[in-house]
Amino acid sequence: MPELPETETIARDLDGALRGAVVRSVEVVRSDVLRGEAPGRSRRSAAALAAEVADALTGAKVHGVSRRAKSVVIAFGTVCAGGQVEGLHRLVVTPRFTGALLIDGTPDDAYTCLRLDLADGRSLRYHDVRRLGTLALLGPSAFEAWEMALGPEPLDPALTPERFSGIIRGSSRAVKSILMDQKRLAGVGNIYANEALWRARIRPTRRGERVTRVQCALLLSELRAVLSESIALRGTTFRDYRDAYGGRGGFAARLQAYGRAGEPCSRCGDALSATHALEGRQTVWCRACQS
């Protein structure tokens, strides 16, 4: 599942390519990936949601593309007769396991769910083989509510070591589970939680309340380092993740824990251990190095 570095890469690509572009037409091919603004509204028919998306985005101008947590946020506004822009909407795209936002992809691809044809002749396509990702068109108040439900961003300078320590030490859950809780910290998933904990020499199952303040400061530093390094290499691709141009991320070769169960620890040589006991996801760690 694309995490912070992967969705950040996609968002940066799209912002550079699409800012200022105008949507000429919208085709909703697979409406089951659409979500409404709130649980009650999401129970509307797929056809009604598809019509709403098409109506809101046809003729709209892309004001910018950003990332929040593991989602790509595309901001649109309607261009009126006098050149004024109004009716700001945000399309929140959460790719999950096989979703991808592609610029100028193959138009007849069987896995296209949403296609936006732009006035300049290009297209933006949401492609999803398993259709586990979601697209939600949110107005200003709904977007604010969605964003407020998420935790702070790990790369935000406003997240001080003291605040991060409070997040970790304020819970009795396993530290890896805390890192992956999007309400506590946004954007970190299984890959980078494993990597940051390996770098910080902290056992993933250690209870948050038992992690010292000094260890929390080190964990934040290592988390930021691994996320920044992965962004520089355009994320981690094992199988499905692709950037906005269909390219693969290059960070997989630098992974020290994730995906390396049974291999020697590069720090001490001990065999890396693995379990699925935390959140049902594979946790990999070194019994000798991480305590």
Q: How many Å apart are CA 195 and CA 180, to the nearest integer?
A: 12
**Catalytic (active site) residue 162:** no
The active-site residue, picked from 2, 5, 95, 204, is 2
Give the active site residue among 12, 67, 68, 70: 70
Mark whether 70 is an active-site residue.
Answer: yes
Q: Give catalytic status of residue 242 as yes or no.
A: no
Whether residue 203 lies in the annotated active site:
no
List the catalytic residues.
Answer: 2-3, 70, 281
